[in-house]
A = this chain, B = another copy of it.
Amino acid sequence: MYEQLKLDNQLCFPFYAVSRLITRAYQADLDALGITYPQYLVLMILWENNNVTVNDVADKLILNTNTVTPLLKRMEVLGLLTRKQSKTDQRKVIISLTTKGNELQHEAAQIPIRLMQKLNIEPNENQLADFLKLKNQLNSLIDLLKNNA
């Protein structure tokens, strides 16, 4: 038995599991808004920065455009955003929030708060410090994986 092939010795597997479990944890609240987890991420980008290109969305989410294009098309059908060809560069497609997409952020603002409650996480100083440390570790890992893989 190779030690490095045991599931319990992997670092990759818990990341894979946590990622899916987080999506599940959001599910009920997102269902209430009629959106999926990747759609929620797209909305977060647009709420912070409206009128971006398909590539902008793909870059921020570290996804390929062939994933993002159909994702945005589904969101257009849902009436959350519009897709318009740029006039200055006709290759680009500008993604803009509709009123409906924009309004959704007020309801969505409760989601992170409710998730913390559901997980019984009280944001005291110690936990916030752990939170920040973990986030920094993850971002370092993202940089490492983006540049070397």
**CB of A77 closer than 8 Å to a CB of B:** no
CB contact between A139 and one of B14, B63, B112, B119 (< 8 Å): that residue: B14
Per-residue CB contact flags for chain A residues 78-91 toward chain B (1 = under 8 Å, else 0) read 00000000000000
The oligomer's copy count stands at: 2
The number of residues on chain A lying at the interface, defined by a beta carbon within 8 Å of a beta carbon of chain B, is: 54
Q: How far is the CA of A20 from the CA of B17 in the complex (A)?
A: 11
Are B2 and A109 in contact, with the CB atoms below 8 A?
A: yes
Are A7 and B108 in contact, with the CB atoms below 8 A?
A: no
A to B CB contacts below 8 Å, 18 in the list: A2-B105, A2-B108, A2-B109, A5-B44, A5-B112, A7-B41, A10-B44, A12-B22, A15-B138, A17-B142, A18-B19, A19-B19, A20-B62, A21-B142, A25-B149, A118-B149, A119-B144, A119-B145
